[in-house]
């Protein structure tokens, strides 16, 4: 089954609580009446979780690369020494 963009938006609005209380109620009724919608919601939750995990890993890698770059740069020796003194 292919989920339409409108349905994805409705699911996102529901998950992130961006819709009005009336729209939330209508959406909950649709969830009861349409089992496929529940499956789409579960898939969307999983997708959001995977994107979040990927983003975290990418950010950690970027931070590590920046730290490694600072450590390799001889001009940053004084900076590193100042930081170490802060945490003594």
Mean pLDDT over the full length of the chain? 89
Residue 11, pLDDT above cutoff 90: yes
Rounded to whole angstroms, the Cα distance separating 57 from 66 reads 14
Rounded to whole angstroms, the Cα distance separating 75 from 68 reads 13
Q: Indicate the pLDDT class of residue 56, thresholds 50, 70 and 90.
A: very high
Per-residue pLDDT, 67: 84
Q: pLDDT higher for 36 or 2? A: 36
Per-residue pLDDT, 3: 63
pTM: 0.65
For residue 68, report the phi and psi dihedrals to the nearest 5 degrees. -60, -40
Instruction: Give the number of other Cβ atoms within 10 Å of residue 30's Cβ.
Output: 14
Pull the structure tokens for residue 44: 């969307």
């Amino acid at each position: 089954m292919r989920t339409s963009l409108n349905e994805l938006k409705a699911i996102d609005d529901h998950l992130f609580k961006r819709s009005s209380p009336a729209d939330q109620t209508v959406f909950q009724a649709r969830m009861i009446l349409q089992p496929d919608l529940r499956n789409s919601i579960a898939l969307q939750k999983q997708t959001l979780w995977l994107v979040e995990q990927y983003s975290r890993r990418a950010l950690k890698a970027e931070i590590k690369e920046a730290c490694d770059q600072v450590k390799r740069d001889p001009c940053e020796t004084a900076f590193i020494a100042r930081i170490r003194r802060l945490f003594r």
